[in-house]
């Protein structure tokens, strides 16, 4: 018997799947208090930011620059973003070409790639240049998402109107009509709530990519790719599809019993960090009621409340409660937005969090490079192909 050779890590390393509990870096951008169900951006609770009236642009400024803007600073920031909203014709062509081919998140990924190719300073990796790109992407991603919604319906892509706010213009470019004030206000809240959320999968993906000092567009594309998945940003779409599949509030008990028997995860529930109610679900709940009643889709809200009661009674003791994606789809649906546009709306908001985190890490950048525990063979003897 050959003597056993030492293997690195084998049998010794302690780790948790999915990097649970692993710490990547220090950050002062946001804090997810999973025990008490609170979300804090740079010291301010999302409840205060939503109620404050400064809109999504105020939150984007806060995340990117570290403090709340004074009035003149916010006015300048808003004007700067508004001036950056339009997208080049080459990007419109990409959108027109790809919007009907696949998921709108795929179109977004491709359109951001095109924006990168069109920027002569794509590869200038400095804090100043990345900040400049961050502002442009924060302004342009809403235009891309709105354009995608239009293109897939053979409607002409609308140019931005810099005289109105980002949320209002986003809805206008998507639907072709000026939104009601309350609708724009709720979209603003939704963008504030989705803007940032600690070291989640898409933020981590974007940061890992950026840590090789590649261009910011590539890093954001990595974030978009990760956000698209059903365990992350894609859950809002899946949640609404669940409510529609249940169809009738009276069918909810049976649906949940079947889901349990099949060990299916119920979309819109559970979270790696929150073991209490996600504060964003708490904020969205009454708005989902208001908007669904107004739109005549109250049955979806009724189903959601029945499902919430069933899942919380069954799994609440294990820290499984509704997350941000549970009610958001009901609201977007009541606004008349297509179901597969929900995750792109998430990206419209999250771009500020992704870029804020990347900019924070860049000055003292170190390549992310974890390891895996190798459990394979070390001494297999090679057999020529003709002898296998």
Q: Report if residue 270 touches ligand COA, rule: CB under 6 A.
A: yes
Q: Which of 46, 115, 189, 320 binds ligand COA (CB under 6 A)?
A: 320
The residue behind tokens 């990409």 is 94
d(CA 102, CA 348): 19
Q: Which of 271, 306, 350, 357 binds ligand COA (CB under 6 A)?
A: 271
Q: Which of 38, 103, 241, 272 binds ligand COA (CB under 6 A)?
A: 272
**Count of alpha carbons within 13 angstroms of residue 288, beta-carbon side:** 21
Q: How far is the CB of 273 from ligand COA (least distance, A)?
A: 8
Instruction: Return the bridge partners of 15, or none.
Output: none
**Residue 210 · residue 116 · CB < 8 Å:** no
The count of residues interacting with ligand COA (CB under 6 A) is 16
Report the interhelical angle of 235-246 vs 342-361 (nearest 10°). Answer: 160
Q: Report if residue 81 touches ligand COA, rule: CB under 6 A.
A: no
Instruction: Return the bridge partners of 118, or none.
Output: none
Question: How many of the other CB atoms lie within 10 Å of CB of 95?
Answer: 27
**Residue 173 · residue 95 · CB < 8 Å:** no
Q: How far is the CB of 284 from ligand COA (least distance, A)?
A: 12
Q: Report if residue 269 touches ligand COA, rule: CB under 6 A.
A: yes
Among residues 164 and 315, whose Cβ is nearest to ligand COA? 315
In angstroms and rounded to an integer, the radius of gyration of the C-alpha atoms of the chain is 23
**Residue 32 · residue 277 · CB < 8 Å:** no
Q: How far is the CB of 230 from ligand COA (least distance, A)?
A: 7
Q: Report if residue 347 touches ligand COA, rule: CB under 6 A.
A: no
Q: Which of 99, 174, 208, 266 binds ligand COA (CB under 6 A)?
A: 266
Q: How far is the CB of 114 from ligand COA (least distance, A)?
A: 29
DSSP string, 260-286: HHTTPPPTTB--SS-SS--HHHHHHHH
Assign 46 to helix, strand or coil: helix
Q: Which of 55, 268, 344, 353 binds ligand COA (CB under 6 A)?
A: 268
Q: How far is the CB of 197 from ligand COA (least distance, A)?
A: 8
Active site residues: 271, 325
Q: Report if residue 18 touches ligand COA, rule: CB under 6 A.
A: yes
Chain-centroid distance of CA 128 in Å reads 25
Given the rule CB under 6 A, which of 84-92, 149-157, 262-270, 372-380 is the region that contacts ligand COA? 262-270
Instruction: Return the bridge partners of 40, or none.
Output: 31, 45
Position with the least CB separation from ligand COA: 270
Q: Which residues bind ligand COA (CB under 6 A)?
A: 18, 231, 235, 265-272, 315, 320, 323-325
């Amino acid at each position: 018997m050959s003597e056993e050779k030492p293997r690195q890590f084998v049998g010794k390393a302690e780790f948790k799947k999915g990097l649970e509990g692993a710490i990547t870096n220090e950050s002062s951008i946001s804090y997810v208090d999973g025990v008490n169900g609170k979300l804090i951006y740079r010291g301010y609770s999302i409840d205060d930011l939503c109620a404050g009236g400064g809109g999504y642009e105020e939150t984007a400024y806060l995340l990117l620059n570290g403090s709340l803007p004074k009035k003149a600073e916010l006015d300048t920031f808003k004007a700067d973003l508004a001036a950056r909203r339009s997208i080049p014709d080459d990007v419109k062509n990409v959108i027109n070409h790809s919007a009907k081919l696949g998921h709108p998140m795929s179109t977004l990924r491709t359109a951001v790639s095109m924006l990168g190719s069109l920027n002569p300073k794509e590869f200038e990796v400095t804090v100043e240049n990345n900040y400049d790109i961050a502002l442009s992407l924060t302004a342009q991603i809403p235009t891309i998402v709105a354009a995608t919604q239009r293109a897939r319906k053979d409607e002409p892509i609308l140019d931005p109107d810099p005289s109105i706010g980002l949320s209002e213009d986003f809805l206008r470019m998507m639907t072709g009509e000026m939104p009601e004030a309350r609708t724009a206000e709720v979209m603003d809240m939704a963008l504030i709530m989705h803007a940032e959320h600690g070291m989640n999968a898409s933020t981590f993906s974007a940061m890992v990519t950026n840590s090789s000092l590649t261009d910011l567009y590539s890093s954001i594309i990595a974030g978009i790719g990760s956000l698209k998945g059903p365990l992350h940003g894609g859950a809002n779409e899946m949640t609404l599809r669940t409510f529609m599949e249940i169809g009738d509030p009276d069918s909810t008990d049976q649906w949940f019993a079947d889901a349990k028997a099949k060990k299916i995860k119920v979309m819109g529930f559970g979270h790696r960090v929150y073991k209490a109610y996600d504060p964003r679900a708490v904020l969205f709940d009454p708005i989902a009621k208001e908007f669904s009643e107004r739109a005549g889709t109250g049955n979806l809200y009724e189903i959601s409340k029945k499902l919430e009661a069933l899942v919380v009674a069954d799994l609440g003791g294990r820290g499984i409660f509704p997350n941000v994606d549970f009610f958001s789809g009901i609201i977007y649906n009541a606004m008349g937005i297509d179901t597969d546009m929900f995750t792109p709306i998430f990206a419209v908001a999250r771009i500020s969090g992704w870029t804020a985190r990347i900019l924070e890490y860049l000055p003292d950048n170190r390549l992310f490079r974890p390891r895996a525990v190798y459990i394979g063979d070390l001494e297999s003897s090679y057999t020529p192909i003709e002898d296998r």
